[in-house]
Amino acid sequence: MKIYRFIVVLSLFFLSCDQKNKVEKEVEEIPVDIKVERFDKVFFETKPEDLAKVKRQYPFFFPAGNDDNIWLKKMQDPLWKEVYAEVQKKYANFEPVRLEFNKLFQHVKYYFPKTKTPKVITVIGEMDYNAKAIYADSLVIVALELYLGKEHKFYQFPNYLKQNFEEKQIMPDVVSSFAYRNIPAFQDKNLISQMIFEGKQLYAKDLLLPEYTDDEKMGYTPEQIKWCQENEAYMWRFFIENEMLYSDDPKLTTRFIVPAPFSKFYLEIDNDSPGRIGAWLGWQMVRSYMKNNSSVTLPELLKINAKEIFEKSKYKPKK
């Protein structure tokens, strides 16, 4: 009997691998040629007297009502010039990143055929870690000053934020922005709705970034992913026993959903736990749902309400 079960599992494994290989071969056939415009170079290499030309070329970067002195000061400020020099040192050759964008949007077009191929514009922003990479339909805007490497001298941020200031995080950040635009806002404010909402955008990375590891998709370290896997059943039991899933207590969002140095169980495990543990658990629920409902497409998944996903996921962590 055990041998029979083993053969069945092995057969399903190879069937799954064949299906993935078939999808990837079809993805590779999709023609995508991403164009990149280096606005960061244009801006910092333009003479002050030519600012008007830049404003005409990129009007969306110059909000009405802002005095030109703001931009002239930034152009000539020694600190911003140093930031630009560091960006150039890191991204003088942007071609490897452009090729990653090509692969990403081949996958996007496979799962979302009507999606336009966007233009990528690189900028040097204001060190706003909430706007590192923005997908906006026909444009993707990437703030390169936040992808210089977690140990860069410029970064006066806590470690849980800095660990994602790496080049490898550009694509996961773009997918997050893309997914959030395609997931309807949750109507219920309870914790399970927020967990599933985050789980959907993480599952989108499973399909759109298949070569990336779970820690790269989540923005964790490998050790943090391992901690989650080892403590999954314990955490799930904690949420169930404390009746948190259908609670709309706003404190639960800051404890388990938003970026933080650790999650707040108010137990000894807190300092060992990574932040956003609710998002990670939501991801496992969505994965379980898709495993049990394999005919559902990615665009369909993003539209399904959280309650249905949770109930049909049959999610049950292994002890």
Q: pLDDT tens per residue, the chain (319 residues)?
A: 555 555 444 444 545 556 678 899 999 999 999 999 999 999 999 999 999 999 999 999 998 888 999 999 999 999 999 999 999 999 999 999 999 999 999 999 999 999 999 999 999 999 999 999 999 989 999 999 999 999 999 999 999 999 999 999 999 999 999 999 999 988 889 999 999 999 999 999 999 999 999 999 999 999 999 999 999 999 999 999 999 999 999 999 999 999 999 999 999 999 999 999 999 999 999 999 999 999 999 999 999 999 999 999 999 998 7
Spatial distance between the Cα atoms of 58 and 163, rounded to a whole number of angstroms: 31
Tokens of 194: 């927020």
Q: Is residue 142 part of a domain?
A: yes
Q: Which amino acid is at 295?
A: S
51 and 170 co-located in one domain: yes
52 and 171 co-located in one domain: yes
Last residue of a domain, one of 178, 202, 226: 178
* Beta-bridge mates of residue 239: none
Spatial distance between the Cα atoms of 123 and 250, rounded to a whole number of angstroms: 35
State which residues form the domain around 230: 191-313
124 and 235 co-located in one domain: no
For the entire predicted model, the pTM comes to 0.91
Q: Is residue 292 part of a domain?
A: yes
Q: Is residue 186 part of a domain?
A: no
Half-sphere exposure of 227 (CA within 13 A, CB side): 17
68 and 167 co-located in one domain: yes
* Sheet with strand 36-38: strands edge to edge: 36-38, 119-123, 139-143, 133-136
146 and 46 co-located in one domain: yes
Last residue of a domain, one of 178, 207, 226: 178
205 and 306 co-located in one domain: yes
* Beta-bridge mates of residue 123: 143
User: Closest Cα partner for 218 from 160, 136, 265?
Assistant: 160
165 and 213 co-located in one domain: no
237 and 303 co-located in one domain: yes
Q: Is residue 205 part of a domain?
A: yes
The distance from CA 174 to its chain's CA centroid, rounded to whole angstroms, is: 6
Q: What total number of domains does the chain contain?
A: 2
Q: Which residues contact 231 (CB under 8 A, 6 or more apart)?
A: 269, 273
Q: Are 175 and 259 in contact (CB under 8 A)?
A: no
Q: Is residue 159 part of a domain?
A: yes
Q: Is residue 55 part of a domain?
A: yes
Q: Round the CA-based radius of gyration of the chain to a whole number and report it.
A: 22
Last residue of a domain, one of 151, 178, 205: 178
Spatial distance between the Cα atoms of 15 and 21, rounded to a whole number of angstroms: 10
208 and 297 co-located in one domain: yes
**Burial classification of residue 312, based on how many CB atoms lie within 10 Å of its CB (0-12 exposed, 13-18 middle, 19 or more buried):** middle
What is the per-residue DSSP string for 184-219? PPPS--SHHHHHHHHHHHHHHHHHH-TTS-HHHHHT
Q: Are 178 and 259 in contact (CB under 8 A)?
A: no
Spatial distance between the Cα atoms of 294 and 21, rounded to a whole number of angstroms: 16
100 and 141 co-located in one domain: yes
166 and 232 co-located in one domain: no
Spatial distance between the Cα atoms of 80 and 73, rounded to a whole number of angstroms: 9
